[in-house]
Structure formats: structure tokens, C-alpha cells
Chain A
Amino acid sequence: MTTTVFLQLVTNGLVLGAMYGLIAVGYTMVYGIIQLINFAHGEIFMLGGFGALLVYAWLPPVQHLPLLAALPIMLLGGVLLSVLVAVGAERIAYRPLRGAPRLAPLITAIGLSIFLQQAVSLWLPMPGGGKVHLGTKAPMQFPSFGGGAFHLGGVLLQRADLLTLVLGAVCMAGLAFFVAKTRTGRAMQATAQDPDTARLMGINTDRVIVIAFAIGAALAAVAAMTQGLRYGQISFDMGFVAGLKAFTAAVLGGIGNVYGAMVGGLVLGVAEQLSTGILAQYHATAQYGAAWQDVWAFVLLIIVLLVRPQGLLGERVADRA
């Protein structure tokens, strides 16, 4: 394997990993505070993509803007939709179950995930309904950048890839600042450590939980838009695998740790790309390449749970009974 190929794989992995990391933040923040695996987060991610697409499809002026100028408007639509749904789900479905046996909210989350996925596939309102037939499982067109890739010393970097890396870095820096420096961010840390004491100290824990859901949803919407831009299409079931991968990233980095989510995402993305890339290099293992990519990601998850269950950046926390 040449250095160029290796660097190309690492670059692709970092782009993929930045997206995983953005989604993983949602899992890890919610888990850190209320110990719930929010299975529906993959669907929140998917809704972010469709929110952006809806804005693009329903507002003809946006279509005439250069894509880079249209993106903030689309992003606004995506963030709005996914945050609304995430906060609504927390309010209606999860909050009444606080204090119930653990299985209850987990099953609710799965129900919500199935429901949101089906609702989008059945009822997504697209302009000129007949053209984009509803209820079909076909992916939908997403606008994408024209223009070729950048060449960085032999390594190709697509425009959308560059945007993903930039957005990922900006979002994570903003999040790190928010969690470490703002009042609300510190309230969030306090709630994650001990919700009861946090409440006694005058922190509105309900509000903190809502904010955690909202931030996770907003970052997932950013990730969904970059995914749409990179592949030129989004589909109603893209949240399933993306959610699984992002959760793997969150566990890899140490669930509950916001920085861990990003590190885990990057490590997972690079590992995934390298494993398939390296396997594809050799004749004997070539057939285990791209088609098996997801399998290697989950095998990595199982290995991490076996060897270092607290994750890369996680510390061993005592079980909260």
C-alpha cells in the first residue's frame, strides 16, 4: 500500500468520522444525563436531512441561490425540524417515564424510532406530490456541489468532504466552549454527575435535559446535511445504520463524554476505512472489503466492549443503582 492510498483512506475516514462524531454527541449527552440510549436519535438525524431538503424543495428562491449561500437556510430548516421533534419526543414520550424501570423508556425509544421512520416514508410532503411518489422506499435527491475535488498532494478531497470537516471542527469547538464555559453547560455537567444534588443546588434539571436533547438534535441535523451533500441523496431509513455507527462511536470514545464522542467518531471512521481499504488491497481478502464495512464497525464495537468497556476517554464510573 502506498502512502498516498493510506493518506486517502485516512482522509476519507476522518470525513466519515466527523459525521459519526456529530451524531454521537446526541447519544452521549442524553446518556450522560438520563442514562437512556435514545434509539430514536438516528431518526432525528434523518429528520434533519429531510428538514433541509424540505426547505430547499418548497422555497424556489433558495434553489436559485448558489449552494453555499443556500446551505445556512437549509440548515436552519433541518435543525428546526430535528430539534422540534427531539424536544417534543422528550416532553411527550420520555419525561413521563422517568423513574420507570429501565426497559420502559428503551422500548419507547424503539417505538419512536420505527414511528418516525415510517411517518417520513408515508407522509413526507414534497411539492408536486406526484413527481416524488410518496410511500416508496426510494432515496430522494439532495442538492450537491458542482465542481471537482481538491488535490492535496495526491489525496483527493471533495468539496462536501471539506465542508464536513470544517463544520465538524466548528461545531465541536462551539460545543466544548458551551459545556466548559457557560452557566448552562456547567449545569449540564452537574446534572450528569448527580441529578438530585444538582436539583438541590437550584438547577432546573428538566430544562437541562431538554437542552441536551436539543443540542444533540441540532448537531445531528448538521451531520445529516453533510451526508446529503456528500452522497447527493437522503433516504428515510438512513438513520438506522448511521445511528448504530454513531452509538458505536459514542461507546468507543466513552459514553457520557462529549469529547469522547468526537474522538470515537474519528477513530471509528478511520478504522472502518482502513480495515476495508487494507482488506481490499490483498487478493486473498479482497472480497471482504466494502460490502463488509459495517460488519467491521460492529466487530470493533464488540472488541471495545470486551477490552475497554469504559471507552477511550471514559473513566470507570460506579454503577448508579
Chain B
Amino acid sequence: MTIIAAPKVSPLLARALMGFGALGALASTFLAWTWTSAFPGDLAVTGYPGGNQLITLVVSILTLVALASAYGVRGLRWLAPAGHVRLLRGLALANAVSTWYVLIAIVAELGGLANFVTGSWVAGLTVLAPVAGAFALPDDRREPAPPAPLPRWAQTLVIFAAVLLAMFVADYGITSGYSEEFLGFALAIGFAAWGVNAGGVLGRLTELTARNRPATAAAAFAAALLFVFLQTTDAYNNVADNILIFATVALGLNIVVGLAGLLDLGYVAFLGVGAYSAALVSGTAASRFANTVLPFWAQVLIGVAVAVIAGVIIGAPTLRLRGDYLAIVTLGFGEIFRIAVNNLNGVSGPNLTNGPEGVYGVPDLSLFGYDFEKPHVILGVTFGRFANYYVLLLVVMAAVVFVFSRINESRIGRAWVAIREDETAASAMGISAFRFKLLAFALGAGLAGLAGTIQAHLTSTVTPDQYIFASTAPPNSSFLLAAVVLGGMGTISGPLLGAALLYLVPYKLAFFQDKQLLLFGLALILMMRFRPEGMVPNSRRQLEFHEQQTAVAAAHALAEAELQEQEAGAAA
């Protein structure tokens, strides 16, 4: 089924168009794109590319490489096992959209076409040629051939390379200095990712990582650790810390929502319970237990224990019931938590949480004599306060990922799937639905509590408005749900990607700030309508959500087979 009727252009011409276009675009990045340095990133320099030109440069090179692969150059054919044309289309679109965005931004921000110089025209026109070429080529979508067997060490090497590449891309996004750079980057990545995915190389990579779990985990951890070593200032480590907290909590929520299928709308309250518990016994003067100074491990134990108890208190009455009562009760619990911590101030309730002012002045952590507040020099790199927390958060995240993946593959994980699919059938098979649901709920609450204990120290202030259903600063319950749903329910990488996007996009794009909740609401609706399995689909979930389509397809196949059988019978 073709959506766009491609005009009859010989493939030779189309490819040539692509090649010359990409070469031209590449060359244009060495020219100036405007004549003043007023545009951020200084695009007025002839001779070497800067700012957004780097994005165009890299995507042009990638287009050329993909084109070489399409020509059948040996050693590059692995780039598109499922067909080259869609990969080329994705890359060409990425280049065109990102470059045109910059050109339009130049006109809009600097005032008029007068700011264009030769380079701008060259760039603007040459990036269009590959698009025309790629869409003139007929689609060559195909079932990927089984991959050539690779030795173990080569597989590991490929995984490390891929993860490192992903980390560099993420680092570029996080450290991009101005909104034009970030948006140009995001546009390019979006289209390129679509192309690379359609080309089939991502699918192959997923297969590879699925077969080499320990190597993937090690590579991801190493790459994430490397991030700190790449930072020249501590500022972006703070951003990364916030993303890590957000992502860890989203992963915890994913156990509850994605694995067990329980919609928890007050999840952030458990983070709050953990944070308040830790802050109150951390020895800050603002706590009413200021004289109680417990070591960090004890704070963690208390935070997790209180969160689990809260989870059981909320879960025990509601999880016995069928249906969606849990969603509304957890929403109510989130509201109870907010009201309670606001009023436990000694005036409208006993003094516990210091009311709206919150518990402030939570001291920095000090573990094994390592003071998190002070910068330390490790391997020639200065680890500032946020870098220290980054490493700790990374360890916690790794622990959560470990729990998630192990439990997902255990009896418990399979019981959750069974309950999610059909509680009646699962109970008939001897699974105690209530017990497993409560386990999921309590586990999720405990993980959020754990993250909360660290968050209390990182932000050093714990206030009620950090833990509400919807606000403009993540994490809150609606952001967490959006991260899980957009990323992909039941997966590990989905919520990580979702959390990173949901944090970075409003953080980098100022104009987005007051509309972010609106757009997230819209994104939830559209996602459920068009891609309910999320950006990173879990294969089982995908089948679940597209049950009808799959069933229809299967019925068609069956009918066809029967028809053929009858015809064969008639012929005989």
C-alpha cells in the first residue's frame, strides 16, 4: 500500500540527487549561514562549522554513509537490514527539517531574509534534494535476513559502541546551550530515529542486547558513569541528577503500572513519604526531631519502611476489588498526603512536617567518609556536589533496574502478567491475585520511598508542593505516568527515555514552559489512540494492544488457507 504515489524517476537519478544534495549540504556547513554573530552558536564563520551547522554536518555524513550502504558497499550493508529507502527518507527528512528550522529561526529572530547569505541559500536548497531523491525511490521494505553470526567478543563490542554512541547523543542534548540548538537537535534525532528504526538496525540491536544482558547492563552503566567525566561544569550534572531521580521513580511506577497493570495516580506521594521520613531524621534544625541524627542507611530503611507501610494501608482495602477503584483511591491518597503535610504544622494539626514551609536545610550526605558537599578530584576530573549525587543515583538506578528485570522474569512477574490479562483465569490457576497485586503495589511504594530519601538530601528542602498530582516541575504523579506511558509500559528503557524527554524538553525550551501540562495531556490522549505501547514497545504489550488487528489478520489468513484448501479439493 503506497500512500504517496511516487513519480516515475529512475532510481539512478534519485540516488544521484541524494548524493549530490548531501554533499552540498555538507559543504554548506563550512560556509557562513548569516552575516552577523547575533544568532546563537555564531553561524557567521566561514571555514569551520559551528552551532546548529554541526547537526547538519553530522546528518549529511550519515546520509552519505547510508547511501553508500544502499549502493551495496561492502561492510556497510548491515545498516539497513529491513530496507534502505525508509532509512534514507528518515535521514533526509531529519536534515531538511532541522536545517530549515534553523534558517527560519534566523529569519524570525534576526528580522528578515536580509540576514541570509550565500551559505544559507546553499544549505536550504541542498538539504531538499535528498528528500526529493529518497521519496522518489520505491520502498524496498523487506523481512530482514537472519544476521550473520558474530563471535561473542564482537557482539559485546557492538553493544558497547552502540551504548556509547547513545550516551554521546544524550550528552549533546543535555549540554546544548540554547533552545535553537536543542530543538534543531531534537528534530534531527526524531526523524533520524524513525529512519534508523524503519531500516531495521535498531531491531537487530535489540535482539543483540536481549541475548547479551550482562554486557548491555555493564555497557549502559559504564557509559552513564562516563557522562560525569565529560562534564566541565557541575551545572549539567544537576540536570542529569533530576533526570535520574525522575527516571528511577518512573521505573518504580512502571512495575506497578506496566508489569502488574495497576493504575497508581498518587505515586509521587510515596516519593514524598520517603523524602519526609529521611529529612525528619537527618538532623536538620527544621525537623521536629532535630536531635535525632541517624546515619544514611538508617534513613533509607525508615524511608522505605514507611513508604511500604503506606502502600499496604492504601492497597489492602482496594486491591481486593476488581476494576478501577485503585486509580481513584490512589488519587485520593495523593490528595490526603498533600493536605496532611500542609497541615501537620502545629496549628491545624500536630507538628510534624512544618507545614507549607517544609523541612529545609537537610544536610548533604557523607558516606564512608566521602563528603558529598565538597568537590573531589578523581582521575583528574573534579567531582562537584551534583556529580557526587549523580554517581549515587546511578547506583540506585542500577539497583532498581536489577530488581525490575529479575522480578519481571520470575514467577512473580509471570503471575502479574496473568492477573493483568485475566484475573478470573489467573485465580483459577491458583494465583492469589490479591497477594501479588499487593506485592507489586508495596514494592513500587518502597522503591519510590528509596528514591525519596536521596532526593531529600539532593534538594536539601522537602516541601508539600513537590509532591502533588500535576504541576509544572517533574516528578509529579501526572508527569510520572506520562513518562511511563510515552516511553513504553513494562519496559526498562521506555520510562528512562520518557523521563529524559519530559524533563529536557520543557527545561531547554522556554516557550514550552506554561504549555507543558497541556501538551502532556494531549500526548497521553494521542499516544493511547495511535501508539498505546509507547515509544519503546514491550513485545507482549504490543500484541495486547493490537489484539484486534492481529486477530483480524489471523482470521483473514485462516479464511484464505481454507479457501485454498477447498480449491485444491475441487481441483482434485
Contact = CB atoms under 8 A, between A and B. Distances in A.
Interface of A: 35, 37, 39, 93, 96-97, 99-108, 110-119, 122, 135, 240-241, 244, 247-248, 251, 287-289, 291-292, 294-295, 298-299, 301-303, 305-306, 309, 319, 321
13 contacts: A107-B263, A108-B524, A108-B528, A111-B521, A111-B525, A115-B518, A122-B515, A287-B350, A291-B339, A291-B343, A292-B339, A295-B336, A319-B424
Contacts, number: 141
A305 B321 contact: yes
Contacts of A119: 518
A110 B331 CA distance: 11
Contacts of B481: 107, 110
Nearest first, the 10 closest Cβ-Cβ pairs linking A and B are: A111-B524, A115-B521, A114-B521, A118-B518, A298-B332, A306-B317, A111-B525, A291-B348, A108-B528, A111-B521
A114 B528 contact: no
Contact of A102 (B324, B342, B515, B523): B324
Contacts of A292: 339, 343, 348-349
Contacts of B567: none
A105 B528 contact: yes
In this complex, the member of A37, A96, A289 whose beta carbon has the largest number of chain B beta carbons within 10 angstroms is A37
Contact of A114 (B340, B520, B544): B520
Contact of B263 (A106, A117, A301, A305): A106
B12 interface: no
B343 A321 contact: no
Contacts of B339: 291-292, 294-295
Contact of A100 (B333, B347, B523, B545): B545
B210 interface: no
Contacts of A39: 327
In this complex, the member of A102, A106, A114, A287 whose beta carbon has the largest number of chain B beta carbons within 10 angstroms is A114
Given A96-B529, A288-B349, A301 B469 contact: no
Interface in B210-232: none
A292 B336 CA distance: 9
B485 interface: yes
Contacts of A107: 263, 481, 485, 524, 528
B525 A115 contact: yes
A271 B559 CA distance: 61
Contacts of B349: 287-288, 291-292
B548 interface: yes
A114 B517 contact: yes
A115 to B, nearest CB: 3
A108 B526 CA distance: 8
B445 to A, nearest CB: 16
Contacts of A103: 257, 261, 263, 489
Interface in B382-436: 422-424
B5 interface: no
A301 B342 CA distance: 21
A119 B518 CA distance: 7
Given A37-B328, A319-B424, 13 more contacts: A101-B544, A107-B481, A111-B525, A114-B517, A114-B524, A115-B518, A122-B518, A288-B349, A295-B340, A301-B328, A301-B332, A309-B321, A319-B322
B478 interface: yes
Contacts of B121: none
B424 A37 contact: no
B485 A114 contact: no
Interface residues of B: mostly helix, strand, loop or mixed? helix
Contacts of B327: 37, 39, 106
A298 B102 CA distance: 52
Given A104-B545, A114-B520, A118-B517, A302 B329 contact: yes
Interface of B: 257, 261, 263, 265, 314, 317-318, 320-325, 327-329, 331-333, 335-336, 339-340, 342-343, 347-350, 422-424, 469-470, 478, 481, 485, 489, 514-515, 517-518, 520-525, 527-529, 532, 544-545, 548
Contacts of A244: 328, 331-332, 335
A105 B333 CA distance: 22
Contacts of A105: 528
A122 B514 contact: yes
In this complex, the member of A102, A111, A112, A241 whose beta carbon has the largest number of chain B beta carbons within 10 angstroms is A111
Nearest to B532: A104
Nearest to B328: A247
A97 B528 contact: yes
B265 A305 contact: no
In this complex, the member of B314, B324, B339, B532 whose beta carbon has the largest number of chain A beta carbons within 10 angstroms is B324
A101 B545 contact: yes
A135 B514 contact: yes
A274 to B, nearest CB: 19
A100 B532 CA distance: 9
Contacts of A241: 335
B558 to A, nearest CB: 20
B428 to A, nearest CB: 11
Given A114-B521, A115-B521, A291-B339, A305 B424 contact: no
A321 B36 CA distance: 67
B423 to A, nearest CB: 8
A116 B505 CA distance: 21
In this complex, the member of A39, A101, A248 whose beta carbon has the largest number of chain B beta carbons within 10 angstroms is A101
B12 to A, nearest CB: 44
Nearest to B548: A99
Nearest to B518: A118
A93 B523 CA distance: 12
A114 B424 CA distance: 33
Contact of B522 (A99, A115, A251): A115
A302 B330 CA distance: 10
In this complex, the member of A103, A112, A251 whose beta carbon has the largest number of chain B beta carbons within 10 angstroms is A103
B95 to A, nearest CB: 33
Given A291-B348, A295-B336, A321 B524 contact: no
Given A110-B265, A319-B424, A305 B329 contact: yes
A105 B478 CA distance: 15
B545 A35 contact: no
Contacts of A100: 528, 532, 545
Nearest to A299: B336
B101 to A, nearest CB: 24
Contacts of B340: 295
Contact of A112 (B261, B485, B525): B525
Contacts of A96: 529
Contacts of A104: 528, 532, 545
Contacts of B517: 114, 117-118
Contacts of A319: 322, 423-424
